[in-house]
Structures are given as structure tokens and as C-alpha cells.
Amino acid sequence: MKHNENRIFPEELKELVSLIPEDRIAWHEPMAAHTSFRIGGPADALVTPASETELASLISFCSHSGCPYFILGRGTNLLVRDKGIRGVVIKIDQPLGNLQIEDQRVTVGAGMALGELSRQAGVRGLAGLEFAVGIPGSVGGAVCMNAGAYDGEMKNVIKEVRAIAENGEVLRLSAEQMQFGYRSSIMQNSKMVILEAVLELLPDDPAAIKQRMDDFTERREARQPLDLPSAGSVFKRPAGHYVGPMLQELGLKGFSVNDAQVSEKHAGFIVNRGQAKAADVLELIAIIQETVRNQYGVELIPEIKIIGED
């Protein structure tokens, strides 16, 4: 494979067209169009598989050709650097978002939106996912990072995960094998790709479930800067501290680097006021980390995933 400044050109990926219809391949696709931050340079190729077979073919192609690949969900917890992503971005979207509900057991594809799953379960009188109603990511992304809110986490409801390995083998992992931690799982340091999750929920009155969802939604809308692009909470919560109040105490609320700004509504968020670049966000993150380190002796670890070339 020939490279020019590590860039993989579409002609070197022409075999993709034999695996995936070309109308589902976007060449040099701006990642700003696929992230909630509305930031990010181009991917060499962005491909949306419509079936598990196509996904397996893509992973096999990338593995055997040495082409780097990145699995993208809804791009809600992601910052893509300004020069973009080399190789293939595989977008797991609604075609891989199947849903099957049998009694209290829910089998759901990785491409389904987590908030939609929460609502679908609620109207069927299944409780346990109310916390997820406002989380904007996909099921696959939520499982991978053990997403949570309002004292709920994905690990509390997951019984099993079905995933595809780099060699194409389909594996079933128990909740214990997933090694869930705070905003983490075994998937984050693995080449496995989540296909489905099996959840066990609890029966409850749909009206009571909806009331809890409405309460969480109201609290979220009141506290979070939903009117501007962001990637959610920027940092993991350090032991004994809350990031938002800590940054507010340091006078960082509203502080900005060009169009990247610490939200004036919730200091735990960085928002894009319109034309922010990844470099602006990264500089702002570094300033926040240094200020907190100097004042509190606390090391802030990003919760958002940062990928791509500077």
C-alpha cells in the first residue's frame, strides 16, 4: 500500500467497492458532519455497512490489507483532530439497530440510538433504562464506554454482548467478561466490534417509567448546554470532586480559545460556538488540566475520545 504523508488514497481502497455498494462509501468525508461537536477533518473513507456480513467483510479487508479502521457510532463522545482520520471509518448506524423484546429480555443492535431504546422499553413497561433517555449516543458506544447518568449505568442492565473479532469470529461475552468500570469496558482496548447487547429489564407501570424519564429530561435540559455543539462531559469525574463546580470556582466558566468555550451553562462541557477547530478544543483542555493540577493537585482525565491527525 503506497502512502503519501501517511494518507491512504481512495484508489488504494478500490476493493471496498466490491464489498459495499458505492452509495454507502463517502470518500474524504468531513468528520465534522458525523460528530456532535461538529468538528473534525476528513476520513479517507467513511463506510456504512447494512448488515453483519458487510461489517465482517470490512473488518476482514482492513485486517488483511493492513488498513487502519475506526468504528464510529453517533459521534457524540468524540473529538476528531483537524487533519482527520487515515484509513476507513466504519459507521455503525440504524441498519445494524435491530430490536427484539421477549418478556423482560431485550436484544438490541449496536446501531440503535440509546435514547430511542430507552423510550421503546418504557412504553412496553420495562424499567431500568430511564437514565439513558437523554444520552445521545448509540447502543454500541454506550456499551463500550459503560455510559451512565443519574446513578444508572449500562452495566446494571447488560447480561451479554455479542461482538465480532478481528478475524471475523463472532463471540459472546458475559457481563463479567466485559470488565465494566467507570466509563470503561474491555472493548476500549480491543479490536472487537460490538454487534448486539442483551439486556435484562424489570417490569413496571409505563406511566411511572415515563414520569422518571420526563424528570431526567427536564433536569438535563435545565443544566446542560444543549443549544450548542458539544461532546458531552469532557472529563471523567475525579474522586472527591465534581468537574463543573471546580472549574467554576477557578473562574473558567465561559473561558474560551477562539470558538471553543467552557460552557457558561455547565462548566463540565466545552461547546463549539460556531467555528471551533479541534486544535482550539485541545488547547482549552490543556489549559483546564494545568489550572486544575496547579490549584487542586487533581489530574483531569478526558472522558471524550480524541482521535485523528493534528
Which sequence positions are flagged as catalytic?
Answer: 183, 233, 303
118 vs 209: CA distance, rounded Å: 10
